[in-house]
Amino acid sequence: MTLHLTDPADRDRADRDPADWENPALTGRGRLPARAYFFGYESAELARTMDRRRSRGFVDLTGDWRFRLFDHPARVPATALAEESEDWDTVRVPHLWQVDGYGQLQYTDEGYPFPVDPPRVPADDPTGVYQRTIVLPEAPVGERTVLRFDGVESYAEIYWDGAYVGMTKGSRLSAEFDVTDVTHPGTNHLVVKVLQYSDGTYLEDQDMWWASGIFRDCYLLSRPAAHLADFFVRTHRLADDRAEVTLTAGVVGRPDVTWEVYDGERLVASRAVTPGTDATLVVEGARFWNPEDPHLYDMRLTVRGADGTVQYVPHRLGLAEVTIVEGRLLLNGTPFKMHGVNRHDHDDRHGRAVGMARVERDLHLMKQHNINAVRTAHYPNDPRFYELCDRIGLFVLAETDLETHGFANVGDLPRITDDEAWQTAYVDRIERHVLAQRNHASIVMWSLGNESGYGCNIPAMYRRCKELDPTRPVHYEEDRDAEVVDVISTMYSRVSQMNDMGEHPHPKPRIICEYGHAMGNGPGGLAEYQRVFEAWDSIQGHFLWEWCDHGLVATTDEGREYHAYGGDHGDFPHNGSFCIDGLVFPWQEPSPGLVEYKHVICPVRVDYADGLCTVTNGRWFTDLSDVLVVLETLHDGRVVGSRTLTPGPVPPGKAWSEAVHPDVAAHGETHVTARVLSTAAHEWAEPLRELGRYQTLVADRPRRTEGAATRAAVAAEADGTSLVVTTRAADRYMVDLLTGDLSWRSRGRELLQEPPRVGFWKPLVDNHQQENDELWAPRFLSLMQTSTRDVSWREQDGAVVVEVSSRIAPPTLDIAMRVTLTWTLADDGVHLAVEGEPVGDYHDIVPRIGLSFAVPRELRSVDWYGLGPGENYPDSRAAATLGRWHSTVDDMFTPYVVPQDCANRGDVRWAALTDPHGDGLAVRAAESGPFAFSAWPHSTAAIDAARHRTDLVPEDRVTVNVNHRVLGLGSNSWGSEVLDTYRVRFEPFRFALDLRSVSAAAPHHDEGIAS
């Protein structure tokens, strides 16, 4: 880690007049930039722990503080800064006061929540005052006491026993204050005055909730008179697995400094260090750090003062060198790719006041889902975050605390980015960030910020970044031609664009720092992106937007919890649910999108063809010694055999093959499924975790044709406007001769609560909002009406055939679909054939083409032969394999924060919904092939109307959707449209299905698709 203290005299450079602290030239002044570090006077045991609280000289200031919120900085009484106020509220710090019920929460994507008038902010500026008493012992002579804050938003003034100490800006950057001269033995009174808005707020418009407070840890540190002030360690790989490690140390006083490097208990190298000069040592037989094998050495700096005090500064050292050679990023000489995500800090109960247990679970989930990189969007994280990434193995694209996106709303995004008056503020942010984190092996590159346009302050930031750390490349997406930065980057480029960029590579390495907007149900199309990423060496990183939904827990009047988003707190203007855009639900459960991403980026590929199974190592640094491949043979979805392959130590980029001869079924479908498992145990995963799965169709042989069974004749009788058909099995069909609607009574109950009807609408998913706004809403596709034009029937071959002609059309327009339904009502069930012919000039995309109906609520057990086990869509199915699956209607319903279409299963051969006794209804694919299937405990209208999960109430029926075609997901909430391959158009169609009444004692399906 790094220690860094500037001259305490800097504290006096900041004028306390609000008119002055709004001056951008003063931004960053008056604070002592903090650097993450651990230390101890008497032992170096902290080298093996993250818990800094075990260190002598540490006073934890997290916990209960007195607090009061004022509406204007000038309304804070002087006594509040100097005297204890016992009658104030007590709050738990870290916290954000708006999340805890003080003041107004507001969410905007890019707009500032106040009039744009830089550098000024509203005079009525919510101001929180925190008070805390601290009892300190007598300090050794010469010892320095430092007050540190890891995060305060957005501007803070520090007072100690009523005396002004200093101020800080840069909300997500740590700040330190040397308070030695104001502390004393006994009771001390600390006050922190925090303003919600400052001129620094113009640099912190990062698509998140506007909230303020002391939201990260704060504490007091003691340092001996002679101590380490800073260090910088870097690695250079030599030949023969030797590492040259260079250290530069800065000190206060004139101590002796010794540098040691251990591998476990073994001392591998050591030497004395002359402060202010470079010291070098060589690690023989080095084990270099990488995210697949994140080996860390224990590095220890021992600082001995002339007065006999000893300071130990331990550091977990990863030997990592990032270089660019011929336009490619290399780690320790090896090329690599980053399969990443963008991560905001978020806790659904505490906002950005995120505890380390939650951070650790975030990172463990990433590793469990094959993610190897994270972009800290769009600000530095808690210092311990980087240690975790070092330890468990994640590349970090380390972004500093900068985004001025709100200026896009006034048509001038680079307004202050291209204003030299703000240059000190810009440079300060990258300087503090780099000095704080530059010793972390996990950091693969720096990022100067996000969506702030381009101007003179960007080259200034780049130059300062390179001065402080010349060893790492620098990223900034809005340097569109990489005029200054070392890595060229884009956002939300389409698949075809990325392929063009791969075909015509830039001289510098390329990444796509945001893509695949994961809002609600989605994203789709990741597999197509991945094929492009893997095809081109010059594309070395991709980061999905984003990791977690930013929902905040709220409760209904009845005490039911839901997750709030923009507008739910009376905030305006706001960007609604645009903050609900993560791969992980707010309660840290993976969404179907994250499961899909895991399989798309699986680092081990398995192919089967012509009796040969080939296993390819897609890792960059490690072999396949820990990998097993379980091959399962399936006949019509049922597992009939299994064997395990052990590829052994296959090197990165190489393949291994073995002959495999699965048992092929005499009739029907034979598939081989390969499940890739890792036997390695990690702190974040148990052995035998699944890395991914692949499936191949081996054979599809014609099914056995039995002699045509004699079908018992049904009885048909017209009764007024109804046609009643009864079967030998006592099933009773009734067709309304005016509407063509079918009802069906079986085993003493109505099997259909709502008749099957053709439809083109389904609940809107977030990723289709733009299609809805541009295509569907103007044409009222959600309001389409069915007009039955003709119903006729006839008896044929012991069955009754009913033909229904109808026109399905929206109001006010002349576009329509002419639809013909042909029902064949027989003793053994119902056969339905559907044909459609469009009318009018609309031929663009629609959400689906299919049927919907309802069955009794008791039919909640679901079995199917198709893609599963989880939710899947045409462009989001890498995680799905064909098989026989079981679930329930409730478990299939994905709990998206904003209810929307969900639960789809594709390539279904048959599906059955049954009650606890095994009675129910089955749907089987007929001559048109497999269908898509979903079942919900709610109606389409209810899901569309709901804004939160608690808006949905249990219904007395189950909605069933059997769709001929379903539109792909894409990520067009803010990203890529649905690829043409996965589009469903308002064009002619034809499909057919069989429906059967089933019971536990009677088969409810054939093995596959009907002949």
CA dihedral of 760, 766, 771, 777, whole degrees rounded to 10: 70
Tokens of 1000: 């536990």
How many whole angstroms separate alpha carbon 449 and alpha carbon 477?
Answer: 8
| 172 close to 128: Cβ distance less than 8 angstroms | no
* Separation of alpha carbons 667 and 700, rounded Å: 7
Largest CA-CA distance found in the chain, in angstroms, rounded: 109
Q: Cα–Cα distances in Å, from 91 out to 102, 134, 355, 581?
A: 11, 16, 16, 30
User: Residue 977 carries which DSSP code?
Assistant: P
Q: What is the DSSP letter of 630?
A: E
Pair 600, 527: CB distance under 8 Å = yes
Helices (H), 380-525: 383-392, 423-437, 457-468, 495-503
Cα R_g (the chain), whole angstroms: 33
Residue 133 to residues 58, 114, 140, 148, Cα–Cα distance (Å): 16, 35, 21, 16
For 161, the 3-state DSSP assignment is coil
Q: What is the 3-state secondary structure (H, E, C) of 454-469?
A: CCCHHHHHHHHHHHHC
* Amino acid (1-letter code) at residue 592: P
DSSP secondary structure of 876-891:
B-TT-EEEEEEEEHHH
Q: Is 451 a residue of the active site? A: yes
Give bridge partners of residue 417 from the DSSP assignment: none
DSSP structural state of residue 713: P
> Which one from 176, 321, 451, 477 is the annotated catalytic residue?
451
Torsional sign, CA 781, 787, 790, 793: positive
Of 204, 514, 546, 596, the active-site residue reads 514
Spatial contact of 572 and 581, defined as CB atoms under 8 Å apart:
no
- The strand pair at 931-936 and 668-678 is best described as unpaired
* Single-letter code of the amino acid located at 335: P
Kindly report the three-state secondary structure assignment for every residue of 717-762: EEECCEEEEECCCCCEEEEECCCCCEEEEECCEECCCEEEEEECCC
Distance of alpha carbon 435 from alpha carbon 145, whole angstroms: 20
Q: Report how far residue 212's alpha carbon sits from residue 153's, in angstroms, rounded to the nearest whole number.
A: 5
Measure the CA dihedral 543/545/548/553, to 10°.
160
DSSP 896: -
Q: Give yes or no for a cis peptide into 856 (omega within 30° of 0).
A: no
Q: How many helices (H) and strands (E) does the chain have?
A: 12, 63
Q: Assess whether 514 carries a catalytic annotation.
A: yes
Give the DSSP H or E segment for 360: helix 356-368
Measure the CA–CA gap between 240 and 113, rounded to whole angstroms: 58
Residue identified by tokens 């009502």 is 825
Token digits for 129? 């005052």
CB-based contacts of 147, cutoff 8 Å, min separation 6: 158, 160, 165, 176, 177, 179, 190, 218, 219, 220
Q: Are 871 and 967 in contact (CB under 8 A)?
A: no
Cβ pair 28, 48 in contact under 8 A: no
Which single residue is written with the structure tokens 């094998």?
293
Measured CA to CA, the distance from residue 908 to residue 808 in angstroms comes to 26
CA 685 vs CA 366, 367, 392, 426, 680: distances in Å: 11, 8, 11, 40, 8
Q: Give the tokens for residue 453.
A: 């346009």
Which residues are catalytic, by number? 451, 514
